[in-house]
Structure 1
């Protein structure tokens, strides 16, 4: 009897945990960070995007539902098409849903290690069209984003993104217990 009660309680907790996760993932929020830079939140996950004229550069799609929402939001609010989608790294909790976010004219960008891992792990998302090793600058008129790779971090190919001229730095999962995110050479 006692074991059966524990099993029922455990099952109930598992179901409630899944429900909480589902509810959290459907609460979306967009905040203006500075100038033409915005933060998109899906529960406790975040990505960033920049709007220049009628085009957008977006970072991590997060998941299929979040990506659909963000694409629709950008189109309705800014009447902008997504020119670039940039992966911060290859982990599925940030990279899923890329196919939902892009159009046929979107260039998908990542560090070469992140691209390798997305392919190797068969992540169901849009694969990168453009990769780089150390630094890449993506231009959108007078605004641009500088991508930098500093070496091993949380996942292979994890990069920083510096949105200019607003001078906003965007990084994902850089605080890893037991390690510091820096390059030693």
Structure 2
């Protein structure tokens, strides 16, 4: 996401909900996944402990070391540090009770059981 896409999301969110954006969870701090957060205006910003002090100008307010449960309304967000790999601050997120998982950029060369990805 970037600032333009984040602005579009914020401007159009009212089409599906009247609730404001209150929480932002960074999967990791790489620019192709962590841009535009300042546009959203979230009060709680979660990132893994190894993430930089600011991510695209946004300072995380919640630092996850290994795991953390974040409860927002009737949803529980299970944040899990994935260890070093594609980055040093990768988080996976499971949303309960829907059991929806968000994992970003985990497939990397020589990290999967098969080794046919280019290096």
Question: Normalised by the size of structure 1, how large is the TM-score?
Answer: 0.57
Q: Secondary structure at the match of 1:145?
A: strand
Contact 1:97 1:126 (8 Å CA) reproduced: no
1:113 paired with 2:50, answer yes
Moved over 3 A (4+): none
Deviation track 1:60-113 (CA, whole Å, cap 9, x = no partner) reads xx110111111122234211111110100000011111111125xx21110011
Structure 1 gap ranges (5+): 1-61, 181-185
Q: Tell me how far 1:141 sits from its aligned partner.
A: 2.2
**d(CA) in 2 for partners of 1:65, 1:149:** 29
Q: Residue 166 of structure 1 aligns with which residue?
A: 98
| TM-score computed with the length of structure 2 as normaliser | 0.86
2:71 is equivalent to residue 139 of structure 1: yes
The 3-state SS of whatever aligns with 1:78 is: coil
Structure having the higher strand fraction is: 1
Residue 153 of structure 1 deviates from its aligned partner by: 2.1
Larger radius of gyration: 1
1:95–1:125 Cα contact (<8 Å) kept: no
Match of 1:80 in 2: 19
- Is the CA contact 1:144–1:163 (under 8 Å) kept in the aligned structure 2? yes
Task: Report what 2:58 is aligned to.
Answer: 126
* Larger relative helix fraction: 1
Secondary structure, aligned partner of 1:137: strand
